[in-house]
Amino acid sequence: MKRIKFPSPFTVLYIIIILSALATWLLPAGSFDTLAYDNDKKIFLVNGSNEVELPANQEVLDSLGLNMELSKFEEGKIRRPISIPNTYNEQDSAPQGLREILYAPIKGIYQSIDIILFVLIIGGFIGVFQHSGALDKGVGLLAKRMEGREKWLIISLILLIAIGGTTFGMQEETIAFYPILVPIFLAAGYDLIVPVAAVYGGSCIGLMGALINPFGTIIASDAAGVSWTEGIESRIAMLVLGSIVLIWYIVRYAERVKLNPETSILYGLGVKNPFEGKQKSVEAGSMTTGTWVLLALFAMTFLVMIYGVSTLGWWFEEMTALFLLAAIILGVVQRTTESDFVAAFVSGAKDLLGVSLIIGVARGITIVLNEGLISGTLLNEASSLVSGTSPLIFLPVLMIVFFVLAFFISSSSGLALVSMPIMGALGVVVGVPTEEIVNAYLFGFGLMQFITPSGLILPSLAMVNVPYNIWLKFVFKLLIPLAVLGAVILIVGYLF
């Protein structure tokens, strides 16, 4: 009997889009009023059944039940509309039909064009670098130097990525690392799932224990009306203990696969190395001065990207320009002809075209939910679910609620802005410190990022040809201890 093959990421996402559209026919439409700040007129705009202009002062915020400072709006720290507590109203139904289902991925690609271009330019950059042969030599040298100590490569990588996640929300940027890391991990005797687990898992742990991530912790704290330094002890505990759990889980699996390849979760599935044929065997002593210069330029590009994002406020436009410039510099240093440079750049971009389209199609899920007016309904039902519970039960359940909401709203800042004012006000009623509600949001959101198809896991898996169902099988046993750890930290944070 022929084995049924799990559908591709595109099919998985389109199925979810169809199910999301179906939900708009079954669930009542509704929304919360939102408040936005007009920086030009220095006024608040309240969008409900009618748009209302209100003076921008602290009294207005207090009267609306928004426990936050006016300065957060004036300084531009809160730029997008935020939900107003206790303003949920049912709306006329807006069911999404065949037309909307067809248009959803197209609209998603339009809305994701910044990250799509970023990924394509990274592909071109990697293609130019591979053309030089320096990547092959660098991989060969590293594999030789790490022989017998490969697990320390996993540990170091997880910690570095987690630091990036906890400081500036590093996640999209990790797409660039797979073409470099996959050959190294395979040379070490591991399988294709190990680099995804180390890189993507590290970024998720960084999001769960985000100390100063401006797109998660800072925005959520501002929207909830507390300082980002409050509750930081719980986040430090999650970052440290979560990293230990992740390292233990991945290293144990990786070393088992190295000793016996048949224990790999991918064994017998025919999953091929996506970079096979592009890597060449490297003999010892083949490194030259030119190779070292190219490797230094390559590494410097990533260091500049990290510095720009974490310190200079860079985002996709600046990062994309950086990799384009770096590709040109690499071509000049290699003395590559114009035709060879273009061919290498286009070939590299082509390798990541599928990944880019997956990112755009995934955005279509959120578009269907928003245009179907059920995102507000989901948030209202979620807040009703946790209201009236005792504080010790409230926080773990709230983490699970955020875990579920993150499936539908995969943007960390987007989920924070729509949910924090409402959950923060609810926490005051229950008697839970607001900073622990922020932590529940971070723990739940970061946990969902391990598996949500609307996030970056599908593009990451596409980079290494690992099926989504296999990833779910691998990561399920990891999510349970991380969820228990999160619940315990929240309860301890409340009690002490």
Could you give the CA distance from residue 195 to residue 371 in angstroms, rounded to a whole number?
A: 37
CB atoms within 10 A of CB 279: 19
Distance of alpha carbon 381 from its chain centroid, rounded?
25
Give residue 236's pLDDT. Answer: 94
Give residue 285's pLDDT. Answer: 45
Model confidence pLDDT, tens digit, residues 138-185: 666 766 676 667 788 888 889 888 988 887 677 776 777 787 788 888
User: Look-up: residue for tokens 């310190």?
Assistant: 311
Distance of alpha carbon 292 from its chain centroid, rounded?
32
The one-letter amino acid code at 419 reads S
How much is the average pLDDT of 470-486? 95
158: tokens are: 């997880």
**Least trusted range by pLDDT, from 134-148, 279-293, 333-347, 370-384:** 279-293
Model confidence pLDDT, tens digit, residues 203-248: 999 999 998 777 788 888 888 888 888 889 999 999 999 999 999 9
Task: Give residue 1's pLDDT band: very low, low, confident or very high (50, 70, 90).
Answer: very low
Give 373 or 67, the one with higher predicted confidence.
Answer: 373
Q: Angle 457-464/353-371 helices, nearest 10 degrees?
A: 160
**Least trusted range by pLDDT, from 30-34, 274-278, 457-461:** 274-278
This prediction's pTM: 0.79
Query: Rg of the Cα trace of the chain?
Result: 24
Task: Give residue 451's pLDDT band: very low, low, confident or very high (50, 70, 90).
Answer: very high
Could you give the CA distance from residue 149 to residue 21 in angstroms, rounded to a whole number?
A: 50
Sheet holding 51-55, edge to edge: 51-55, 43-47, 34-38, 82-83
294: tokens are: 């190219």
Model confidence pLDDT, tens digit, residues 51-69: 888 898 899 888 888 888 8
**Least trusted range by pLDDT, from 274-283, 395-404, 438-447:** 274-283
Give residue 287's pLDDT. Answer: 67
Q: How many CA atoms lie within 13 A of 351 on its CB side?
A: 26
Residues whose CB falls within 8 Å of the CB of residue 85, separated by 6 or more in sequence, listed in order: 32, 64, 65, 66, 421, 422, 425, 426
Mean pLDDT of the chain: 85
- Tell me if residue 409 falls in helix, strand or coil: coil
How much is the average pLDDT of 475-483? 95
Give residue 282's pLDDT. Answer: 44
Could you give the CA distance from residue 407 to residue 36 in angstroms, rounded to a whole number?
A: 25
Give residue 481's pLDDT. Answer: 96
Give residue 403's pLDDT. Answer: 94
Model confidence pLDDT, tens digit, residues 302-358: 788 778 876 787 777 888 899 899 999 988 888 888 888 899 899 888 877 887 888
